[in-house]
């Protein structure tokens, strides 16, 4: 197993819809309300100019190479990469382009070829007669997905493609954990549990935090929560800390029996004299031996200056407080 793993992150992003039919764009607004960050264009050239403005920011990059890795080796720590929560512009990043094939200014394939330097998912909408062009574009690597407008399942297929595009885009911005720290969060089963929690609790953004080895979550109003995932090694380490720090024996016994999963936020583990500890009921993860998760609402997460949530960003933009549910 690699000692370098990508940690979970998800936040609202933008989808750019391009179609010369105002009526179809209006229908798309209703079908995909998003988080208020999506953009809609009836003019392909206007849309292309907007997309081009994101090229420098969204060019492909490897945070584990070159100067970034050298700087990490000097600084040390358990995570590589920039903290995405410091980047207020992230909510305007383009996760997907959804473009009609047949447009008067240029075809959708020509549009997507011109936007090739923006790292995002490319989705083409076609009529039945355009399908052969879509297949050629897919085989040439110009598009990632295509949907026929006449398909009765168009809405479901397009929604699935957009949701997948958002998750993939955000995943590229996550910290890279090193030395095995937080490796459990990279497990596919844990990722699925986290996504289910996000849907159930109407969470719109979440971020693995290296200092706590936990995932910090927020709903559209900015209310915080903490998602934990512990395997047998994590449980043993957490129990040992309680003992080493002179913590209550009853707490260690409850943890050893997997009856409670303490949330020590903003700390990673037990510390003497802690004034606030939340207790969650650990939920076993099917298919993973002695691995449990929990999600707990917390009060003020104590964010450091410069870290911004979607709720705060929306307020600063003067936008309504309504947010999107994680789909």
The whole-number pLDDT of residue 243 equals: 96
Contact 16, 51 (CB under 8 A): yes
DSSP state of 106: S
The whole-number pLDDT of residue 322 equals: 42
H/E run at residue 125: strand 121-126
* Cα of 14 vs its chain's centroid, Å: 12
What are the start-end ranges of the E strands in 135-175?
A: 145-148
Helix (H, G, I), strand (E, B) or coil at 283: strand
Helix (H, G, I), strand (E, B) or coil at 264: coil
Length of the chain: 327
The whole-number pLDDT of residue 70 equals: 52
For the chain, residues with pLDDT lower than 50 are 1-3, 63-64, 69, 321-327
What are the structure tokens assigned to 143, written together? 């598009």
Q: How far apart are the first and last CA of the chain?
A: 31
Convert the pLDDT of each residue in 145-182 to its tens digit: 999 999 999 999 999 999 999 999 998 888 876 667 78
Q: Which residues contact 25 (CB under 8 A, 6 or more apart)?
A: 17, 19, 40, 41, 42
In degrees, to the nearest 5, what angle opens at C-alpha 108 toward C-alphas 153 and 11? Answer: 65
Q: Is it true that domain 11-178 has CATH number 3.40.50.150?
A: no
The whole-number pLDDT of residue 2 equals: 47
Q: Which of 20, 22, 24 is nearest to 32 (CA)?
A: 24
- Domains of the chain by residue range: 11-178, 187-327
The whole-number pLDDT of residue 320 equals: 53
């Amino acid at each position: 197993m690699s000692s370098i793993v990508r940690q979970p992150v998800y936040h609202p992003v933008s989808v750019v819809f391009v179609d010369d039919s105002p009526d179809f764009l209006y229908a798309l607004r209703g079908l995909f309300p998003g988080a208020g960050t999506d953009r809609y264009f009836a003019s392909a050239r206007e849309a292309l100019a907007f997309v081009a403005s994101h090229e420098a920011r969204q060019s492909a990059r490897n945070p584990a190479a070159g100067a970034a890795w050298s700087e990490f080796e000097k600084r040390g720590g358990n995570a590589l990469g920039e903290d995405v929560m410091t980047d207020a512009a992230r909510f305007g990043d383009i996760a997907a382009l959804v473009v009609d094939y047949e447009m008067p200014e240029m075809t959708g394939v020509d549009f997507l070829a011109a936007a090739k330097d923006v790292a995002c998912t490319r989705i083409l909408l076609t009529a039945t007669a355009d399908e052969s062009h879509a297949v050629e574009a897919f085989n040439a690597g110009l598009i990632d997905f295509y949907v026929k407008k006449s398909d009765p399942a168009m809405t479901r297929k397009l929604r699935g493609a957009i949701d997948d595009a958002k998750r993939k885009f955000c995943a590229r911005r996550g910290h890279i954990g090193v030395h095995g720290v937080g490796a459990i969060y990279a497990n596919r089963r844990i990722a699925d549990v986290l996504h289910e929690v996000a849907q159930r609790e109407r969470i719109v953004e979440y971020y693995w935090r290296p200092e706590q080895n936990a995932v910090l979550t927020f709903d559209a109003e900015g209310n915080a929560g903490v998602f934990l995932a512990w395997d047998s090694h994590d449980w043993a380490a957490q129990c040992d800390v309680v003992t080493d720090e002179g913590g209550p024996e009853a707490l260690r016994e409850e943890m050893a029996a997997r009856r409670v999963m303490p949330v020590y936020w903003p700390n990673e583990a037990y510390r003497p004299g802690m004034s606030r500890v939340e207790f969650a009921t650990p939920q076993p993860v099917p298919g993973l031996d002695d691995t449990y998760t929990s999600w707990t609402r917390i009060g003020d997460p104590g964010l450091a200056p410069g870290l911004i949530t979607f709720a705060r960003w929306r307020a600063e933009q003067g936008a309504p407080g309504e947010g999107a549910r994680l789909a």
